[in-house]
Amino acid sequence: MMRTHTCGELRKSDVGKEVMLCGWVHKIRTHGALTFIDIKDRYGITQVTIQETPKTLSKESVIQITGTVKEKPEENKALETGAIELEGTNLKIISEAKPLPLDENATEETRLKYRYLDIRNSIMNNLLFRSKVTAFLKQHFMKEDFVDIETPLLMKSTPEGARDYVVPSRLHKGSFYALPQSPQLYKQILMVAGVDKYVQFAKCLRDEDLRADRQPEHTQIDFEMSFVTQKDVQTFVERTMKQLFKELLDKDLEDFEVFSYEESMKRFGTDKPDIRFGLELQDVTELVKDLDFKVFSKAQMVNCIYVGEDFSRKNIDEYTSFVKTHHAKGLAFVKVESQTFQSGVAKFIPQETAKKILEQLQVQGDGTIFFVADTKKISQSALGHLRNKLAKDLDIIDTNEFKFCWVNDFPLFEYDEELNQWKPEHHMFSMPKEEFVDTFEKEPQQVKGDLWDLVLNGWEMGSGSIRISDPHLQERIMNFVGFDKEQAKEQFGFLLEAYNYGGPVHGGMGIGLDRLVALILGFEDIRQVIAFPKNKSAQSPLDNSPSPINEEQKKELGLR
């Protein structure tokens, strides 16, 4: 062995031992003839003193050092190894390092180009924690009698919401595989196969526009269970998350609150509610519908939020611009002073109506009320976005708190104005609620699905549903969202065929592992917990992918 211990291993009990360490030079300091070196690896840092060092020794060079463990005169409590130091007797340079192209001012592109250096100095602990989460969850699923099964990465291209990444076939020129957006169809077929409980930490690949919580490839904790109800699946997930947080963070999670989709939109303006703070929306449409103020009286819905703060005109203008980016026409406001409305649109609201609004909002002190009057969808969502922004601006969110919730009873369909066509809210394999099974084509806007989302601190962690296991019902759904019988057979025939041979009632979820780990660690950008992520243009500065292929490769694949 080139080392007897790691750089995070030595303690006071090792004093007097002759040891050998290998690692990277973290710091170098000279004091007269004595040199002080901090040597690091992924386990930690050990402080070293040595009389002579090579002149070529530089930061981040890889070294091997031999010496005797000594007790430090004064403990360095910032280090796990702070009670000792190594009195070096021999130092060997294994690999010299050039000056690093990274510092604290490095751009994102530079950090991604030299990702291995970023991992070594910044990202390592994130990846170590991710590994612990993954290991715990895999062991947990095994204890719960799940079977870990890998599904294909080369599969048939099927429309599932995002664009597919496609792979040309050399042996079958003109034909293409698709990379899986998720293992959805295969896990359903595994239930037909009698697997009963399936799990996979699956790579999912989607060619979609990127944002902080998206990457072209992400990891999904994908699982499916036979002979279950929605409650069974949710109970299992809630138990899993409580055990995970207790084991790794020593945190006791509260029971997960449950909201219907309608309730979540009404109270929080989003189907991904952050329930760590108040500032809930209030629907005052009925109170203002007869006012001689057309902004309110002509709107489909008027929602408002009360904030116990007095905002400047500049602040209000900024918030007005903000809600406009979320499609609202504008932002009305009043200031509350001694239970009366002042400023803003106060002159359009009679005192009697103002009193009713204050009663509904349960306003006690002074502050500001913001209104968004628009369609139901815009009024709720624009004010929901403003709610989240106000909470951040006012610093009222406890960032050490983790609050999960369930959002149930989503609409099964949503209407696509551009295509003039109904399409699935989640995906077309979700079961309608029992009361809508026979009649969903008649009033699709009323249909609720047996599907749900798991939400943590305002971020969607995953979606689940009870699946359609009746091939005739599945064909009806496919036909309703635009697939005639021939198209359904062409795209999904293998799935429909499987259900003709006995399919159990089954359901499951896909939970985003990257997003879960990122939020636990306090990041909103999932790239902080992925070893080699892409940039915002879906490119990898590290290896310059995607990149052109040569003409010979194109010829082999039948491409031009």
Average pLDDT over residues 334-339: 93
DSSP state for residue 278 in the 8-state scheme? -
In angstroms and rounded to an integer, the radius of gyration of the C-alpha atoms of the chain is 29
Supply the pLDDT for residue 116: 95
Is-contact 42 74, C-beta < 8 A? Answer: no
Measuring CA to CA, which residue among 336, 343, 347 is closest to residue 295? 347
- State the pLDDT at residue 160: 63
| Structure confidence by residue, pLDDT tens digits, 174-218 | 999 999 999 999 999 999 999 999 999 999 999 887 776 789 999
* Both tokens assigned to 478: 């496919």
- pLDDT for 54 equals 80
- Eight-state DSSP code of residue 15: T
Handedness of CA 161, 165, 170, 174 (dihedral sign): positive
Residue 418 predicted with pLDDT over 90: no
Q: What number is the average pLDDT over the span 246-255?
A: 96
Q: Are 462 and 221 in contact (CB under 8 A)?
A: yes
Give Cα 265 to chain centroid, integer Å: 20
Q: How far apart are CA 347 and CA 292, in angstroms?
A: 11
Q: 121-258+404-529: same fold as 12-95?
A: no
Give the mean pLDDT of 27-34.
88
What pLDDT digit, counting tens, does each position of 492-533 carry? 889 989 999 999 999 999 999 999 999 999 998 999 999 999
| Domains of the chain, residue spans | 12-95, 121-258+404-529, 277-393
pTM: 0.92
CA–CA gap between residue 87 and residue 51 (Å, rounded):
9
Other C-beta atoms closer than 10 Å to the C-beta of 186 total 22
The average pLDDT across 244-263 equals 97
% pLDDT > 90, the chain? 82
pLDDT at residue 490 in the model: 85
Instruction: Decide if domain 12-95 falls under CATH 2.60.120.10.
Output: no
CATH code, 277-393: 3.30.1360.30
Of the listed ranges 4-13, 160-169, 497-506, 522-531, the least confidently predicted one is 160-169
**CATH code of domain 121-258+404-529:** 3.30.930.10
Question: What is the 8-class DSSP label of residue 359?
Answer: H
